Amino acid sequence: MRLQSFGAACTVTGSMHLLTLDGGRRILIDCGLFQGGGEMEARNHETYPFDPADLDAVILTHAHLDHVGRLPLLVNRGYRGPVYCTPPTAALAETVLLDSARLQVEGYRQDLRRARRQDREHEVLPPLYDEEDVHRALALLRPVLEFGQATDVAGLRVTPGRAGHILGSAYLLLESADGRLIMSGDLGNRKSGLQLDFTPPPQADAVVIETTYANRSHRTWPATLAEFSDALRVSVRAGGKILIPSFAIERSQTILHTLKKLMDCGEVPRIPVFLDSPMAARATRAYFEFGDELVPEVRDALRGGEDPFAPSTLHVVLTGDESQRINRYDGPAVILAGNGMMTGGRIQHHLRHHLWKPGTSLIIVSYQSPGSLGGQIVAGADTGHLNTVKIMGEDIAVRAQVHTIGGFSAHADQDDLLAFLSSTGNPHVWLVHGEVAVMDAFLPELALRGLKGDIVPDRQEVDLLGGGFSGGRPSGLALDDAPPGTRSEAGE
Ligand SMILES: [Zn+2]
């Protein structure tokens, strides 16, 4: 069993792992987009040292863009085989990929207009794919993977387990004559949010595990809810708009459900809530369709005909005109809009309208990468001095109160990851989907528990069961050479 990673190796986005089995069968696990701007996103255009037409199968662990976003490109480059996933992942992947195609095409047109004025048209890269390409990729989806049930994929026995990260997320047990391998995909933050906890995985010879937050502990869920509730009450008293930038999948549904609970029990006044994200509204349909997957409280509400994602004051905003009209609404109101890191989307015009007003509150519930608009606002708020940020070409003063709530993360922390590994026996552990510094901090934790661990290098093939690298740790894995990864937008 050999593994070669073309993404999420020594970084957190672009998950794409090529598994080669004895006898030459090749299976691609995930096919995600690199995110985080600049050099990182330029990697989306790179070619692979294999012919996509030669792959036997693709398996998707979950529908986040950094795990599915290069699939239409793979199909453009010749892949015509099956793409296995769970039914909820297929439903969400459609929403995610169509939105991605729209952004690709819009971004391309914008870059082209700008480049024409500077006579640099030839430098603009074409969009990775369009809506038509997405439909071709969606036609290959085989949503037949069910938790706990084995499926034959190109002669390999594949059993998905509940990963508890987002709706439909799975880790994979892959069994063949070569051995037993677990690919973790992204693992969930236990005892939090809408998803049931991950199920303990079985024993394996090797585990490839994500390490996004392998060096830290999350705040407990009750503490996070208390912190969120406090921030909301303070914000309502401040009297202005309460802006909550949010990812369309999982985070928006979690925040809506939490707002409903806090308002229903009287902890937070019933002020209007605007969900200004058509993508989040579309994604929420999948939560209804697959409600049995969710924590009992939400599942039972859905079975009883309730809408657990709709506070009584909810307005779902669909058109751009409606979105603009919210700014004319007087008095306090919650505005939930994308995108989560404020790098684009409707949240930007709300920020431009309200960030400079002292009565406004900005409640941050998602990871903000340092270079993003959200990252700049948080960094400025931490200094305590008035700062100014550029939004849609305009300098805007940050006078709003900024509240940062860290505990809504959908990723496992160090305790969760160690708990996941605790039932797997004595496998060789391979680390992916993390910054090198974080993985370096995790390796001693594995050693303490008698587990042999290694970092999966970028693009270099490793023998998963042979263990270790022939010739020692590959060059390029020294801390100084680590690629400048940023945490994923959709993958937070
Ligand atoms: Zn994810």
- Ligand 1 centre from 403 Cα, in Å? 24
The answer, yes or no, to whether residue 484 has pLDDT greater than 60, is: no
Mean pLDDT of 102-121: 92
Q: What is the Å distance from ligand 1's center to 422 Cα?
A: 22
Alpha-carbon distance 53 to 103, whole Å? 27
- pLDDT exceeds cutoff 90 at 436: yes
Ligand 1 midpoint to CA 400 (Å): 30
Tokens of 403: 């509240």
Total number of residues shown for the chain: 492
User: What mean pLDDT is reported for the chain?
Assistant: 92
Ligand 1 centroid, distance to 12 Cα (angstroms): 10
pLDDT category of residue 268 using cuts at 50, 70 and 90: very high
Distance 69 CA to ligand 1 centre (A): 12
Q: What is the mean pLDDT of residues 452-478?
A: 73
> How many whole angstroms from 189 Cα to the centroid of ligand 1?
11
CA–CA dist 80, 89 (Å, integer)? 19
Whole-angstrom Cα distance, residue 71 to residue 136?
10
Centre of ligand 1 to C-alpha 115, Å, is 34
Laid out side by side, the sheet with 206-210 consists of: 151-153, 156-162, 170-176, 179-183, 206-210, 428-432, 452-455
> Ligand 1: distance of its center to the CA of 333 in Å?
30
Tell me, what amino acid is at 352?
A: R
Angle of helix 251-264 relative to helix 221-238, nearest 10 degrees, comes to 70
What's CA 153's distance to the chain center, in Å? 25
pLDDT score, position 480? 37
Percent of the chain, pLDDT > 70? 95
Greatest mean pLDDT among 10-14, 399-403, 479-483 lies in 399-403
Expressed in angstroms and rounded, the spacing between residue 188 Cα and the centre of ligand 1 is: 9
Arithmetic mean of pLDDT, 151-176: 97
For residue 487, the model assigns a pLDDT of 36
Could you tell me which of 308, 232, 317, 238 has the C-alpha nearest to residue 270? 232
pLDDT surpasses 50 at 482 = no
pLDDT bracket for residue 383 (50, 70, 90): confident
C-alpha span between 137 and 51 (Å, rounded): 17
| CA-to-CA dists, residue 264 to 244, 260, 470, angstroms | 19, 6, 60
pLDDT band of 41, cuts 50, 70, 90: confident
DSSP letter string over 293-327? Answer: GB-HHHHHHHHTT--TT--TTEEE--SHHHHHHGG
The Cα 421–Cα 201 span in angstroms is 8
What is the pLDDT, as a whole number, of residue 467? Answer: 59
Average pLDDT over residues 250-270: 97
Q: Please, what is the end-to-end C-alpha distance for the chain in angstroms?
A: 29
Strands 141-142, 83-84: pairing kind: parallel
Helix (H, G, I), strand (E, B) or coil at 205: coil
SS3 356: coil
**CA of 186 relative to ligand 1 center, distance in Å:** 5
- Ligand 1 centroid to 449 CA: how many Å? 27
β-pair type (206-210, 156-162): unpaired
**Inter-residue contact 17 to 4 (CB < 8 Å):** yes
**What is the whole-number distance in angstroms between the Cα of residue 490 and the centre of ligand 1?**
7
- How far is it, in rounded angstroms, from Cα 406 to Cα 360? 20
Rounded to the nearest angstrom, the distance between the alpha carbon of 491 and the centre of ligand 1 is: 4
The alpha carbon of 470 and the centre of ligand 1 are apart by a number of angstroms equal to 31
Separation of CA 365 and ligand 1 centre (Å): 16
- CA of 32 from ligand 1 middle (Å) equals 10
Note the pLDDT of residue 489: 36
Summarize the confidence of residues 31-43 as an average pLDDT: 86
CB 88 within 8 A of CB 284: no
Alpha-carbon distance of 113 to 170, in angstroms, equals 41
| pLDDT score recorded for residue 90 | 98
Q: How far is the CA of 489 from the centre of ligand 1 (A)?
A: 9
Q: Which of 125, 136, 1 is nearest to 79 (CA)?
A: 136
Of 193-207, 356-370, 414-428, the poorest mean pLDDT is in 356-370
Residue 12 pLDDT > 90, yes or no?
A: no
Query: How many Å lie between the centroid of ligand 1 and the Cα of residue 492?
Result: 6
Least confident residue range of 27-36, 179-188, 253-262, 464-473 = 464-473
Would you state the pLDDT for residue 469?
A: 52
Residue 100 pLDDT exceeds 70: yes
| Separation of CA 279 and ligand 1 centre (Å) | 17
Asked if residue 338 lies in contact with residue 280, where contact means CB atoms within 8 angstroms, the answer is yes
Ligand 1 centre and the CA of 140: distance in Å? 21
What confidence tens digit (pLDDT) does each residue in 284-307 have?
Answer: 999 999 999 999 999 999 999 999
Which of 75, 67, 94 minimizes the C-alpha distance to 13?
67
Q: Is the pLDDT of residue 477 over 80?
A: no
**How far apart are the CA of 145 and the centre of ligand 1, in A?**
18
CA of 64 to the centre of ligand 1 (A): 5
Taking alpha carbons only, the member of 440, 420, 436 closest to residue 165 is 420
What's the average model confidence in pLDDT over 139-157?
A: 97
What is the pLDDT, as a whole number, of residue 380?
A: 87
pLDDT computed for residue 274 by the predictor = 98
If we measure between CA atoms, which residue out of 146, 173, 189, 187 comes closest to residue 64? Answer: 187
Least confidently predicted of 171-180, 445-454, 459-468:
459-468
- Give me ligand 1 centre to Cα 242, in Å: 27
- CA 61 / ligand 1 centre spacing (Å): 9
Question: How far, in Å, from the CA of 410 to the mean position of ligand 1?
Answer: 8
pLDDT tens, position by position, 305-317: 999 999 999 999 9
Task: Say yes or no to pLDDT of 491 above 50.
Answer: no
Q: So what's the pLDDT on residue 389?
A: 94
From the CA of 303, how far away is ligand 1's center (Å)? 27
pLDDT band at 443 (very low <50, low <70, confident <90, very high): very high
